[in-house]
Amino acid sequence: MVYSYSKRLLSEYINMLPEKTDNVIATETDSIYFDKVVLKEFEANVNNYKGEYPCKFGNDLGNAKYEKNTDDVCYFLCKKIYSIDGHYVIKGISQNSINDQGEVINLVDNTLYEKYLI
């Protein structure tokens, strides 16, 4: 029931985007990623919301808040594989390893994302 309610609440926030799902780049259980060119209209729609769900900005459970807001290039390859503002998410693999000299080496950077966008 909790998961169903959270999906319904997330849908309510998506419907406040100017072109609804057409503005969505990616979603997760509790997140919507969209281009910031629609941010002002989204903010206005949330602030003027009159529906039955507790849609508003704030820190309470279910409220909208900004986790990332960047002008940098972001990459979304598929579910749980993305890069935002130099923060890399790749579910299921280690982002670092150790070379023969015992030094930590990064396995994940923007070149990984750029390689698969071509």
Residue 3 CA, distance from chain mean position: 18
* Together in a domain, 62 and 90: no
* Residue 52 to residue 71: CA distance in whole angstroms: 34
* Together in a domain, 4 and 24: yes
* Together in a domain, 45 and 101: no
Provide the residue range defining the domain that includes 83.
Answer: 75-117
* Together in a domain, 5 and 55: yes
Tell me which of 27, 43, 67 is where a domain ends.
Answer: 67
| pLDDT value for 83 | 87
* Residue 54 to residue 48: CA distance in whole angstroms: 12
Total count of domains within the chain:
2
* Residue 57 to residue 55: CA distance in whole angstroms: 7
* Residue 24 to residue 34: CA distance in whole angstroms: 5
Q: Convert the pLDDT of each residue in 26-84 to its tens digit.
A: 998 889 999 999 999 999 999 999 999 999 999 998 899 988 888 888 888 888 888 88
